[in-house]
Amino acid sequence: MQTTIEWAQLARAFGLFAVTAVAELLGCYLPMLWLSNKGSAWLLLPAALSLLVFVWLLTLHPAASGRVYATYGAIYIATALGWLWLVDGVTLAWTDMAGVGLALAGAAVIALGHKAA
């Protein structure tokens, strides 16, 4: 039973990391569109809102520690490459997929490993 609860907490944390990463990416992507003359200055309003949501979401993370932010980094890598594929239409290379797999495996080791020690 304890293991099921731990996995549920881990899945919730990873989901929160993914939503946080999307908010961060959107908050940076929209100004980039404006700066590259692919959108109007009005994009800065939802960008600012997205970055406010990003900062708020950071407050919901379990703890402000190096372990949490290291795990978030791996989720951010996966989300950024997903964004590259879905939004920018770039075909991912096998090295992208291998890198994401390694980063996520590392995140799992970091997130779960300290409990085993």
C-beta contacts of 102-106 below 8 A and 24+ residues apart: 103/73, 103/74, 103/77, 103/78, 104/74, 104/75, 104/78, 106/74
Q: Is 5 exposed, middle or buried (0-12, 13-18, 19+ CB in 10 A)?
A: exposed
Is 92 in contact with 84 (CB distance < 8 Å)? yes
Q: What percent of the chain has pLDDT over 70?
A: 90
> What is the reported pLDDT for 108?
82
> What is the reported pLDDT for 60?
84
Is 74 in contact with 21 (CB distance < 8 Å)? no
> What is the reported pLDDT for 26?
95
> What is the reported pLDDT for 11?
82
Tens digits of per-residue pLDDT, 12-30? 888 888 999 999 999 999 9
Cα-trace Rg, the chain: 16
On average, the pLDDT of the chain sits at: 87
> What is the reported pLDDT for 4?
72
Say how far apart CA 75 and CA 97 lie, in whole Å.
Answer: 13
Please report where in the chains the tokens 């989901």 appear, as a residue. 15
Tens digits of per-residue pLDDT, 49-85? 999 999 899 888 766 667 777 888 898 999 999 999 9
Where does residue 92 fall: left (phi above 0), alpha (psi -120 to 50 degrees), or beta otherwise?
beta
> What is the reported pLDDT for 38?
93
> What is the reported pLDDT for 94?
98
> What is the reported pLDDT for 80?
94
